């Protein structure tokens, strides 16, 4: 895993959830950076730090992996990247 492991919100993003997602993406060869360049996840304000049933992670995918930046069109392997990201999310949640 690359990046610092600053856990900004252990209430709405429990460590087990955080670790499951980082591990799932790293296991298929993605370079995983935690809280860089962006930090945190979105939680509805009425639930933030109030309801532990509301959990959140945010997955950012480098657009160079799925977008032709010169044209703004999906890259040739767009579908493959989408399927891989979906599989990682399912694996992370399935391992909890």
Q: What does the pLDDT look like over 2-48, one tens digit per residue? A: 333 455 688 999 989 999 999 999 999 999 988 888 888 899 999 99
Evaluate whether 17 touches 10 at the Cβ level (below 8 Å). no
Would you give the end-to-end CA distance of the chain in angstroms? 19
Where are the chain's structural domains? 15-94
Tokens (6 digits) for 40: 């945190």
pLDDT digits (tens, 9 = 90+) for 52-68: 999 999 999 999 999 99
pLDDT (0 to 100) of residue 7: 55
Higher pLDDT, 86 or 2: 86
Whole-prediction pTM:
0.84
pLDDT at position 21, please?
Answer: 95
pLDDT of residue 34: 84
pLDDT above 50: residue 1: no
Query: Cα–Cα distance between 57 and 17 in angstroms, integer?
Result: 8
């Amino acid at each position: 895993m690359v990046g610092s492991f600053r856990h900004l919100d252990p209430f709405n993003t429990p460590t087990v959830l955080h670790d499951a997602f980082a591990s799932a993406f790293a296991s298929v060869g993605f370079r995983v950076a935690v809280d860089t360049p962006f930090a945190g996840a979105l939680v509805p304000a009425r639930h933030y730090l109030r309801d532990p049933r509301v959990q959140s992670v945010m997955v950012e995918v480098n657009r160079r992996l799925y977008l032709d930046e010169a044209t703004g069109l999906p890259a040739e392997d767009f579908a493959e990247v989408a399927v891989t990201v979906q599989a990682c999310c399912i694996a992370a949640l399935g391992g909890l």
